[in-house]
Copies of this chain bind each other. A is one copy, B any other.
Amino acid sequence: MTPSLEKLVNSFASLPGIGRKSAARLAYRVIEMSEDEVKTFVSSIVEAKKSVHLCSVCQAYSEDDVCSVCSNEHRSLDTIIVVEDNKALEAIEETHEYNGKYHVLHGVISPVDGIGPEQLKIKELLHRLDDNVNEVIIATNPSVEGEATAMYLGRLIKPFEKKVTRLAYGLPVGGTLEYADSVTLMKAIEGRTEV
């Protein structure tokens, strides 16, 4: 492999979820591209990096000072869903069932990785808890760190006298008890609802 191909493979391999074999395949694809295709690819990277910033309100990725959700007057100010990252926000948006606002933390508290509350967008969240807000739904991932961050936020928001909730644990729709892990199954029993 030539030196510049090697460098390109290293670049691709440093991206999440790309192993060396995939990185080599991507690098060869780049060499096979036309000059124009390479230009389009490169400019899409440069443009995205240049134009995408954090929404000054909810901290989601946005190309304007205020993102499309925050600036949408048809969305209720009543509820804020707090998520770890933009991927989670997109997943909730895709349900087309939520009409409130969001707040993106950009991570979770993780002492092992040296990430404390001050590195997350928590201060920005507290600033938003005005009279319009009635409920904060904490939708961090169902991991140890997500759970700890949810507990931490719960205590922090309490003095503001807002309802603080957490997403339900339970069986995934379409799943079977047979393949549910025992922690999930226990949570599903604990969280059982009347029929």
- Most chain-B CB neighbours within 10 Å: which of A1, A22, A52? A52
Which residues of A, 116-163, contact B by the 8 Å Cβ criterion?
Answer: none
Total interface residues in chain A, CB < 8 Å = 44
Number of copies: 2
- Residue A31 contacts which of B1, B42, B49 (CB distance < 8 angstroms)? B49
**Are A7's CB and B48's CB within 8 A?**
yes
A38, B51: Cα distance in complex, Å: 13
**Are A15's CB and B29's CB within 8 A?**
yes
A48, B10: Cα distance in complex, Å: 12
Sample of 20 more A-B contacts, CB < 8 Å, known A5-B52, A8-B47: A1-B90, A2-B61, A3-B63, A4-B48, A4-B50, A4-B52, A8-B48, A11-B40, A11-B41, A11-B44, A11-B45, A15-B29, A16-B26, A28-B85, A30-B49, A31-B52, A35-B49, A38-B46, A38-B49, A42-B46
Task: Pull 21 A–B residue pairs with CB atoms less than 8 Å apart, ordered by A.
Answer: A2-B51, A2-B62, A3-B63, A4-B44, A4-B48, A4-B50, A4-B51, A5-B48, A5-B52, A8-B45, A11-B44, A11-B45, A16-B25, A17-B26, A24-B87, A27-B48, A30-B45, A30-B48, A31-B61, A33-B49, A38-B49
